[in-house]
Structure 1
Amino acid sequence: MGTGLDRRQFGLSAAGAAIALAAGRDARAQAGPITRPVTLVVPFAAGGSTDVLSRIVARRLSEKTGLSVVVENVGGAGGTIGAGRVARAEPDGSTILMATVATHALNPLMAKERPYDPVADFAPVSLLATVPNVLLVNPKVPVKSVQELIALLKAEPGKYSYASSGVGTPLHLSGELFKVLTGVKMEHVPYRGGGPAMTDLIGGQVPIMFDVLSGAAGFVRNGSVRALAVTTRTRVGSFPDLPTIAESGVPDYETYTWNAVFGPAKLPQPIVEFLSRELQAVIAEPAIRERLSDLSAVPVGSDPAGLAAQVKSELEKWAPVIAAAGLKQT
């Protein structure tokens, strides 16, 4: 009996080893051309919308491919420190970047000396999602639409100010584009983050604010602030009754934040194609799309060419706005 049990145990052990070996082979096959653990650099502090989205995507990418995908927050200088680190990384797929419109358009356009070239120093992989911004007012401001706000600002030029999460942020530029396209005058009041700005908007210290919809949603729903419109070209599923600024009489207006993955320049094409394919598959999953929608993000999942076109379009759009606002460092 002892011998039979030993044989059965040996057989089970051998079968287990075979399964483990096969699983290891499958994981290596799924991991494709990348042979090392992957660090996804998030160029902002932990806890923000980019960080949350990154962790959702990293976890699922790791599960799908068998790769170890770790998120590392490398904040500072509006995202340029983390982005610069990836630009200088070894192009082997082990270090990739979760970028935004700030890292790949706004900051490079405003910098006196670019810390990196947003086009030449990176390999585009995939545009994962767009995140709408929203135009808000304190409920005591006597307007309920974009056109009413424009009329008020033109009737009393210079009287009203708008808040954002800081100088040179996508939200600041959303306000500057609004001024350029409507001809209104508003003073910009920069804050050190969206939280303090929202506190002052609710308290009435500042009457108008541009914010990321994912951060403002709760305050809009509980009536602490009034949302006039979203900044994207089309309406947002989480607030279907909220119009866009474009449909509210400013037809050329469109701004949003986005999240996209880049590698360093000279990343081999097989690695680019592998990462792009796997990331597109992650974003296409219903459960992931639902989680992103809960964050008021709009899932995209583009190929590398689509992301390259996005960067080119953003650079062309924001260059004249930054010049008009006097934001270019001298």
Structure 2
Amino acid sequence: MRCSRRSLLRLGAAACAAAAFPLTAGAQSGTGKVIVPYAPGAATDTLGRLMADLLGTATGTRYIVDNRGGGATQIGTKAVATAAPDGLTLGFIDTAFVINPGLFGSALPYDTRQDFAPVSLMATAPLVLVVHPSVAAKTVAELVALAKAQPGKLVYGSAGAGSAPHLAGEQLRQAAGIDIIHAPYRGGATVLNDLLAGHIQFGFTTVPTMLQHIRAGSVRALAVTSATRAGQLPQVPTMKEAGLPAVDASPLFGLVAPAKTPQPVLEKLAAAAQAARSGTAQARLSELGFTPVGSSPEEFRARIEAEIAKWTAVIRAGNIKPGE
């Protein structure tokens, strides 16, 4: 394949270079799949489909999304671990991938560190701490003071035990030394409805999910969990600026392959994935409220190790068990 100027602008140089070299001799006529361990419609599914498109454009292989939800992402993730290491079956993972080792331990049906080859961290997304307008707190410091004045009274919701919003609340509890109540729900939509109705007082959620409600005044944004302020909420401080840098739960989204996938294949996949940090892919990710990354395999492996260590420590300190 010859890279035109239009291709370079659209894909980025790294992905365009990868397009010149199919993964396997027959890859251009074959079909690969990206396993997403969720049902269609979730944020991870949306990004997984974008990733499949990037891989297809850059490698010459058509990638389809294979949704395999259930088991706290374990069903789909195990399917990746046991797939042939040929670059044609990949996994698109999120923060559950790095939380589950601390949450489930040896009960996991795979080894997170040994059974996968990291390819690229595609993007991250800050969580935003929001409160119902009835809560008399306009800053994180005021929320902490309120919680200390009313121990065991303030309730925050999440989509389930061990989810990133749950553990963000646990980070807040531990860092601020406050007594707050976690209410686990079966899905994010129910959490949102109860928060908007004032049945729970606060919560952590993704910026895109809550942006329209923040702008409408239905909830009040106190801080974001990213290292820098969110582009869509420039007036909202970071948790570090608010005095609690330990609250740093920012969901990640990335591509992994089965262990023993050949290094040349990993490199070509990574070059394709790095298109996430340029061109239309970068613009689309930013539009959706994500921070494009497009890391190397080595950088992603280091991030995975750091995240596993961080979340395992939070889970142990909070004595958190699956299903609680």
TM-score, normalized by length of structure 2? Answer: 0.90
1:151 paired to 2:142: no
The one-character-per-residue Cα deviations of 1:208-237 (angstroms, maximum 9, x if unpaired) are 111122211222122211111111121111
Match 1:100 to one of 91, 94, 99: 94
Superposed displacement of residue 29, structure 1: 4.5
Aligned match of 2:73: 79
Aligned match of 1:67: 61
**Matched residues in 1 for 2:233 and 2:24: separation?**
41
Superposed displacement of residue 32, structure 1: 3.4
Aligned match of 2:287: 294
Aligned residues: 303
Give the greater-gyration-radius structure (CA).
1
Q: Which amino acid is 2:118 matched to? A: P
1:132 paired to 2:126: yes
Q: Which runs of 4+ in 1 moved over 4 A?
A: 26-29
Superposed displacement of residue 57, structure 1: 2.3
Of all paired residues, the percent bearing the same amino acid is: 41
**Matched residues in 2 for 1:254 and 1:163: separation?**
18
Aligned match of 1:208: 202
Match 1:46 to one of 32, 40, 46: 40
Aligned match of 1:232: 226
Aligned match of 1:311: 304
Contact 1:161 1:187 in 2 (8 A): yes
**Matched residues in 1 for 2:18 and 2:240: separation?**
47
Q: How do 1:234-313 residues align onto structure 2 when only pairs under 5 Å count?
A: 234-280=228-274, 282-313=275-306
Aligned match of 1:217: 211
Match 2:192 to one of 198, 206, 209: 198
Aligned match of 2:5: none
TM-score, normalized by length of structure 1? Answer: 0.88
Q: Secondary structure at the match of 1:78?
A: coil
Contact 2:35 2:67 in 1 (8 A): yes
* Bigger mean CA deviation after superposition, 286-295 or 125-134: 286-295
1:89 paired to 2:83: yes
Q: Which amino acid is 1:49 matched to? A: A
Aligned match of 1:111: 104
**Matched residues in 1 for 2:164 and 2:126: separation?**
11
The one-character-per-residue Cα deviations of 1:182-226 (angstroms, maximum 9, x if unpaired) are 101101001111111010011111011111222112221222111
* Bigger mean CA deviation after superposition, 34-43 or 135-144: 34-43
Q: Secondary structure at the match of 2:303?
A: helix
Contact 2:80 2:89 in 1 (8 A): yes
1:173 paired to 2:173: no
**Matched residues in 2 for 1:27 and 1:246: separation?**
39
Q: Secondary structure at the match of 2:113?
A: coil
Q: Secondary structure at the match of 1:271?
A: helix
Q: Secondary structure at the match of 1:30?
A: coil
Match 2:136 to one of 134, 142, 146: 142
Contact 1:231 1:255 in 2 (8 A): yes
User: Which structure 2 segments of 5+ residues have no match?
Assistant: 1-16
**Matched residues in 1 for 2:135 and 2:20: separation?**
59
The one-character-per-residue Cα deviations of 1:137-164 (angstroms, maximum 9, x if unpaired) are 1011111110110111111111111111
Q: Which amino acid is 1:295 matched to? A: L
Match 2:23 to one of 32, 35, 52: 32
Q: Which amino acid is 1:45 matched to? A: A
Residues 114, 47 of structure 1: CA spacing in aligned structure 2 closer, same or farther, 3 A cutoff? same
Q: Secondary structure at the match of 2:248?
A: coil
Contact 1:133 1:211 in 2 (8 A): yes
Q: Secondary structure at the match of 1:135?
A: strand
Q: Which amino acid is 2:183 matched to? A: V
Residues 198, 67 of structure 1: CA spacing in aligned structure 2 closer, same or farther, 3 A cutoff? same
**Matched residues in 1 for 2:190 and 2:37: separation?**
21
Residues 321, 29 of structure 1: CA spacing in aligned structure 2 closer, same or farther, 3 A cutoff? same
Q: Secondary structure at the match of 1:77?
A: coil
Q: Secondary structure at the match of 2:125?
A: strand
User: Which structure 1 segments of 5+ residues have no match?
Assistant: 1-25
Contact 1:238 1:293 in 2 (8 A): no
**Matched residues in 1 for 2:322 and 2:132: separation?**
32
